[in-house]
Amino acid sequence: MSSLSLFLTIIFQAAFQTSLGRRGGIAIYWGQNGNEGTLAEACATGKFSYVNIAFLNKFGNGQTPEINLAGHCNPASNTCRAVSNGIHACQKKGIKVMLSIGGGIGNYSIASAEDAKNVSVYLWNNFLGGNSSSRPLGDAILDGIDLDIEHGSTQYWDVLVRNLKSYSKRSRKVYITGAPQCPFPDRFLGAALNTTLFDYVWVQFYNNPPCQYSSGNTENLKNYWNRWTTSVNAEKIFLGLPAAPRAAGSGYIPPEVLTSEIIPVIRKSPKYGGVMLWSKYWDDQSGYSDSVKESI
Ligand SMILES: *[C@@H]1O[C@H](CO)[C@@H](O)[C@H](O)[C@H]1NC(C)=O
Ligand SMILES: *[C@@H]1O[C@H](CO)[C@@H](O)[C@H](O)[C@H]1NC(C)=O
Ligand SMILES: *[C@@H]1O[C@H](CO)[C@@H](O)[C@H](O)[C@H]1NC(C)=O
Ligand SMILES: *[C@@H]1O[C@H](CO)[C@@H](O)[C@H](O)[C@H]1NC(C)=O
């Protein structure tokens, strides 16, 4: 092939790729059901590019922080330290693993800027590149912290994010990700998102009728996707969905609707990163990620 025709081939391929839109990945939440297999098994499926370990659900207000990994292990007897093996296995495959803080059930809140600072020091020493004798998930160094803040205080999350990001180094980046609800702006994470320090934002397009898919209507979802992707300055934005009808109160999208009517539209955004699914357990039940992964 001449260098000119090679050049033209590359240009046409690039143009074709752009007209099709970008390829994304799947982010999954793991940790809230003991019957969903180990973290290493989740990463061995090859389906996921990002895993959020759910949850650190007690922290702030001067409390001693606690993780809760449902039936997987018992933090009180240190059995969750074995999760380090899974974290290493995932990272070897290039999968980013975050600790998700917050969630639907738990006692968390940030009371002041000083409290935010203390929580960030705790997270650094216990889950990131610092050190501590407690390290609930063992010695593995997580890639970052995911904020799934659904109750408690609406203030100081921006301070927490700034403190966490200050630990990021060229040699080892600290990823900041978040799972706001789809109504815009998010009540809890709005100011934190405004710091522009988030790498990945997986917006929960479920349990929120005004902005989610419902019985054939894709308009609300597309409008809010547009609003999120044009307003929020993050590296990548993901469509967060329930992996099965029973995984959430509402907002489930049948795989064929997602792949034919929604993905082709949302992937046009330069910030499109793919899809987030709640959760590994529900994905095992439904096979959702298998049904949609080729289209994402
Ligand atoms: C923050 O940590 C310092 C040092 O451990 C402690 O003295 C202070 O009471 C903590 N502040 C809050 C708000 O928990
Ligand atoms: C949450 O923690 C605070 C501070 O430790 C405590 O006062 C409060 O009772 C707790 N709330 C619940 C619902 O456990
Ligand atoms: C723990 O961290 C401190 C401060 O960064 C450092 O001086 C110390 O050597 C570390 N200890 C271990 C066992 O890595
Ligand atoms: C985020 O920034 C936008 C645009 O500057 C502003 O309108 C909005 O009030 C900010 N939101 C919060 C929660 O600070």
Write down the domain spans for the chain. 22-292
pLDDT in tens, 197-248: 999 999 999 999 999 999 999 999 999 999 999 999 999 999 999 999 999 9
The DSSP letter of residue 106 is S
Ligand closest to the CA atom of residue 118: 1
From ligand 4's centre to the CA of 197, what distance in Å?
Answer: 14
What is the per-residue pLDDT across 19-46, written as a single tens digit (0 to 9) for each?
456 799 999 999 999 999 999 999 999 9
Tens digit of pLDDT for each residue in 65-103?
999 999 999 999 999 999 999 999 999 999 999 999 999
Comparison of pLDDT for 18 and 287, the residue scoring more: 287
Q: Please state the pTM of the whole predicted model.
A: 0.92
Ligand closest to CA 190: 4
> 284 CB less than 6 Å from ligand 1?
no
Mean pLDDT, range 142-169, rounded to an integer: 97
More confident residue, 5 or 240: 240
pLDDT of residue 7: 53
Considering every ligand atom, which ligand is closest to the CA of 114?
A: 1
Pocket test for ligand 2, best of 107, 110, 118 (most atoms within 8 A of CB): 107
Instruction: Determine which residue's CA is closest to atom 6 belonging to ligand 2.
Output: 107
What does each C-alpha distance from 252 to 116, 239, 266, 278 come to in angstroms?
Answer: 35, 12, 17, 11
pLDDT tens, position by position, 259-281: 999 999 999 999 999 999 999 99
Given this model, what pLDDT does residue 16 score?
A: 46
- Out of 184, 194, 201, 228, give the residue to mutate to test ligand 4, the one with the largest number of ligand atoms within 8 Å of its CB: 194
Residue 134 phi, psi (nearest 5):
-85, -45
- Is the CB of 38 within 6 Å of ligand 4? no
Residue 22 has what pLDDT?
A: 76
Check residue 25 and give its pLDDT.
98
- What is the structure's pLDDT at 2? 54
User: Which is higher by pLDDT, 294 or 1?
Assistant: 294
Mutate to test the pocket of ligand 1, among 118, 155, 163 (most ligand atoms within 8 A of CB): 118
Ligand 4: nearest atom to the Cα of 190 = 13
Mean pLDDT for the chain overall: 94
Are 100 and 146 in contact by the 8 Å Cβ rule? The answer is: yes
pLDDT higher for 3 or 78? 78
Atom 9 in ligand 1: residue holding the nearest Cα: 62
Q: Atom 11 in ligand 1: which residue has the minimum CA distance? A: 115
Assess if CATH 3.20.20.80 describes domain 22-292.
yes
The Cα–Cα gap between 36 and 289 comes to 14
Measured torsion, CA atoms of residues 25, 29, 31, 37, in degrees rounded to the nearest 10: -40
Beta strand ranges found along the chain (DSSP E)? 25-30, 50-59, 66-67, 96-103, 107-108, 144-149, 175-178, 200-204, 236-242, 272-278
SS3 141: coil
